[in-house]
A = this chain, B = another copy of it.
Amino acid sequence: MTPPTDGQAADNNDHLVRSDNPDHPANLIPSLCAKFWKLGWVTGTGGGASIREDDLVYLAPSGVQKELMKPSDIYVLSLTAQAQSLSQRQRVYLRRPAAHKPSQCTPLFLAAFTRRRAGCCIHTHSHWAVLVTLLLEAQGPGNDREFRINNIEQIKGFGRGFEKSGNLGYHDTLVIPVIENTAHEEDLTEFLEEAMVKYPDTYAVLVRRHGVYVWGENVHKAKTQCESLDYLFQLAVEMKRLNLPWITDIEPTTPKKS
Instruction: List residues of chain A with CB under 8 Å of any chain B CB.
Output: 40, 43-46, 65, 125, 127, 130-131, 134-135, 138, 151-154, 156-157, 169-171, 180-183, 187, 190-191, 207, 209-211, 220, 223-225, 227-228, 230-231, 234-235, 237-244, 250, 252-257
Contact = CB atoms under 8 A, between A and B. Distances in A.
Nearest to A37: B227
Given A43-B228, A242-B240, A183 B154 contact: no
A166 to B, nearest CB: 12
A253 B190 contact: no
B134 A244 contact: yes
A45 B153 CA distance: 11
21 contacts: A40-B231, A43-B228, A43-B231, A44-B157, A44-B228, A44-B231, A46-B154, A65-B224, A125-B153, A125-B154, A130-B235, A131-B242, A138-B242, A151-B209, A153-B211, A171-B183, A180-B253, A183-B252, A187-B254, A191-B253, A237-B238
